[in-house]
Structure 1
């Protein structure tokens, strides 16, 4: 990483808290025996859905008047009783909460939006059944999902993690509530930094976690202790502002995201550096400076940071040579088929694109004005907003409000940082 030119002062981006950290912290606090405080939580559709689902379990969550912090009174174990839980569009709720429920006692029915019903759950369902849980699913093996719980003994488990790391993370977070803990192995793990994040937070809440030489993870029984935790800014969300700096020649700093970050998606800055941006990282902040144009002509595996592949793909037309991104097949099973969605929208802009099962190649080109189909996917809307900014070409989002899933104030913040650009992303 190189030093930022002091002659071009950085503008600080106001990035909200990490969704991944917020929802994991909420769950661990709900399982702890006592009161935890989660500072600077993300306020978005997904975190509100997760919080509401926890209150359906009987978890008390008190918000400060300005939501500066959430105070969570934990259950000291898994939930007890009966509950219907609405997960809305939140994949983390549908994947983290059923193992938590299975470690309790009672009957718990999970459901969500049509978009969430379409997302796969069968690897998690199969894993829970192998642990002894009684689980009934809806058509296709997904939501609605009924968990009839009578504690879980735990044991030895191999989890198919080829579609998402969230199945493994959900099971790991429930493991300290199992009678004998859990020895877990991941099969074909994708997005491994998210599992590292899970384990780091579990340790913060007092769980006994050990990794074997063969990659297996041993989780000891014993539950969680209450903890106070400050949520970092969301590194996935920061990627759009870092990319905006790279394509405009501006300098953007995100305070609170530094060398000690728990979020693997901060490695997106390494990708931008490969594309010619200058990156400076300290313990307390990360700065990206663009200049000299975007450099292409490389092939990169973004499987571990797939939530940011769309950020790169959307700005790739502005590079000086083609860019190929691979290792992202599991991104077809997110809020949308993200490879197809990105490719279709780039083609609508007149950009030449090739794609395969787990890869996409984007060629340089001047985008034409187009209407961008967001597929109710926040990351499509945010990524193409950066392309509009960098190209100066009007791109109209069909659903600009879908960014509320993770960053309701996204459009306002992008315009604040780049006030000389029109509000293309706001038009409907």
Structure 2
């Protein structure tokens, strides 16, 4: 099996082409090895914790994408020194966070929900703004939590301003995090820096994406922070210091989803190196999901995960509450399955980069699929699909889903594949190289002549 490497890193990372992108169809069963960039979720948590630590930290294999560039720039606004000029990044925390500036959140949930808590530690007000689509993303529970700590907050959604104060001692804070686990993670990240620590409780509907909270807790503990999460929906963080730590970021398992799913849809075989045996990334469940669809899963001796497609795509019934970011790709596979599939537990993704439930339903129906949107998910009835424009709504996961369907449905045009820059600027080069291998071309040949890629 040949290898699809990452494009070389440089000061300017690879970017997807702007404008409409004809999604290439697979010329043959796809057989490739795809090296996936670092995890966005882990990268942005590592950056924040490095900024809060007592000394410098080095981050290796950090994801270089729009969301992480926004996080690095946001930390710089708060006075953090981030040297990202090389393959590894050096983060040096300030003596004290500085205010008076504006943080651009773009459309990055981790930026808009992790940096406002840091702003309460700053010496002056900090303004937050972002893309117009970000104005609709829910923020109220996090900002209520900051207010409970004693901060002053103007507004309940972007744009807003956070003003901290000397009386931010910490203690008990209760929020409703049923619309985003990032509220919990954002508050936990600063808990140890509060004089009384933090006793954070969730009171509300079902809490989504618990693995992301587990990731935050594990990364805090790795830096010496004491966190008691023995009681459901309660996290007690003891006050203390956050130790510096040099880390190597895992591959982004959720960004591996469309590549591994490509094997399942085309009857091919795709491997992703360095797949962790255990991980707090929600994408760790991806092999189990693809196996339910009928694919064969192999864990190689060298640490790679290999997915091999079979003759048929089975329908599934699945709860994606803990891995909701996989919903667009799972829905795309389900649209090509043998029978009706049911996706549950993802009502909260109405508040993601776009209303993902409505977006998925609209775009699948536009290609001929019948979709029912429920309170907490989707019912997908496969039909014979035809081509058409696949709208992304500035959502990187929607773009990945459109590219995936385009493998087996001719004349699918993704209206804005450039939005994959949000978490994976290398998406189109990696996708194109993967298909070139299936067509018998080498990755070097396709890199030298991108116009020769399968269309």
Give the TM-score normalised by structure 1.
Answer: 0.92
Q: Contact 1:10–1:287 at 8 Å: present in 2 too?
A: no
Given candidates 53, 78, 85, the residue that maps to 1:32 is: 53
Aligned length: 412
SS in 1 for 2:254: helix
Of 187, 200, 217 in structure 2, the residue corresponding to residue 184 of structure 1 is 200
Q: Is the 8 A contact 1:33 1:75 kept in 2?
A: no
**1:212 positional shift:** 2.5
Task: Give the structure 1 partner of residue 98 of structure 2.
Answer: 80
* 2: CA distance, partners of 1:13 / 1:85: 34
CA distance in 2, matches of 1:159, 1:418: 46
Q: Which residue of 2 aligns with 1:63?
A: 84
Matches of 2:254 and 2:30, distance apart in 1: 23
Rounded Cα–Cα distance in structure 1 between residues aligned with 2:308 and 2:175: 41
CA offsets, 1:283-308, max 9 Å, x none? 83322111122111x32111110000
The residue number in structure 2 matching 1:290 is: 309
| Residue of structure 1 equivalent to 2:270 | 252
2:187 aligned with 1:166, yes or no? no
- Asked whether 1:97 is paired with 2:115, we answer yes
Matches within 5 A, 1:43-54: 43-54=64-75
Is 1:149 aligned to residue 167 of structure 2? no
Give the 5 Å matches for 1:204-353: 204-281=222-299, 284-296=303-315, 298-353=316-371
What secondary structure does 2:332 align onto? helix
**Partners of 2:282 and 2:395 in 1: CA distance:** 21
Structure 1 counterpart SS, 2:202: strand
CA distance in 2 between counterparts of 1:379 and 1:405 reads 10
Q: Find the residue that maps to 1:236 and give its secondary structure.
A: coil
Q: Which residue of 2 aligns with 1:5?
A: none
Distance 1:313-1:52 versus aligned 2 partners, 3 A rule: same
Moved more, 10-19 or 187-196: 10-19
Q: Distance in 1 between matches of 2:187 and 2:232?
A: 19
Asked if the contact 2:102–2:128 (Cα under 8 Å) also holds between the matched residues in 1, the reply is: yes
Show structure 2 runs of 5+ residues with no match: 1-28, 440-445
Could you list the per-position Cα deviations for residues 222-245 of structure 1 after superposition, in whole angstroms to 9, with x for gaps in the alignment?
A: 131110010111111011111111
Deviations 1:130-181 (A, max 9, x none): 12111111xxx20111111114211112221110000110000010111111
Tell me what 1:14 maps to.
35
1:3 alignment counterpart = none
Contact 2:212 2:281 in 1 (8 A): yes
Give per-residue Cα distances to partners, 1:89-118, cap 9 Å, x unaligned.
212111000011113432111111111122
Is 1:196 equivalent to 2:211 in the alignment? Answer: no
In structure 2, C-alpha distance between the alignment counterparts of 1:101 and 1:285, rounded to whole Å: 40
- Alpha-carbon separation, structure 2, partners of 1:175 and 1:251: 45
**Distance in structure 2 (CA, Å) of the matches to 1:163 and 1:88:** 19
Aligned to 2:403: 385
Contact 1:111 1:143 in 2 (8 A): yes
Could you say which structure has the greater relative contact order, defined with CA pairs below 8 angstroms and 6 or more residues apart?
Answer: 2
**For 2:192, what is the secondary structure of its paired residue?**
helix
SS of 1:106 mapped into structure 2: coil
Q: Tell me whether 1:402 sits opposite 2:423 in the alignment.
A: no
Equivalent-residue separation in structure 2 for 1:29 and 1:79 (angstroms):
13
Using a 3 Å threshold, how does the CA distance of structure 1 residues 427 and 333 change in structure 2: closer, same or farther?
farther
CA RMSD in angstroms, aligned pairs only: 2.2
User: TM-score, normalization: structure 2?
Assistant: 0.86
Supply the distance in 2 between the matched residues of 1:337 and 1:81 (Cα, whole angstroms).
Answer: 33
In 2: Cα distance, 1:375 partner to 1:80 partner: 35
Asked whether the 8 Å contact 1:34–1:75 carries over to 2, the reply is no
SS at match of 1:61: strand
The one-character-per-residue Cα deviations of 1:197-227 (angstroms, maximum 9, x if unpaired) are 1111111222111223344211111131110
Q: Tell me the CA shift for residue 262 of structure 1.
A: 2.7
Question: How far apart, in 1, do the equivalents of 2:350 and 2:422 lie?
Answer: 18
CA distance in 1, matches of 2:126, 2:111: 13
How far apart, CA to CA, are the structure 2 residues paired with 1:84 and 1:321? Answer: 50
**Alpha-carbon shift at residue 27 of structure 1 (Å):** 0.4
Once the two structures are TM-superposed, the CA of residue 323 in structure 1 deviates from its matched residue by 0.6
Residue 266 of structure 1 and its aligned partner are, at CA, apart by 1.7
Q: Which is further off, 211-220 or 267-276? A: 211-220
CA distance in structure 2 between the aligned counterparts of 1:287 and 1:221, rounded to whole angstroms = 44
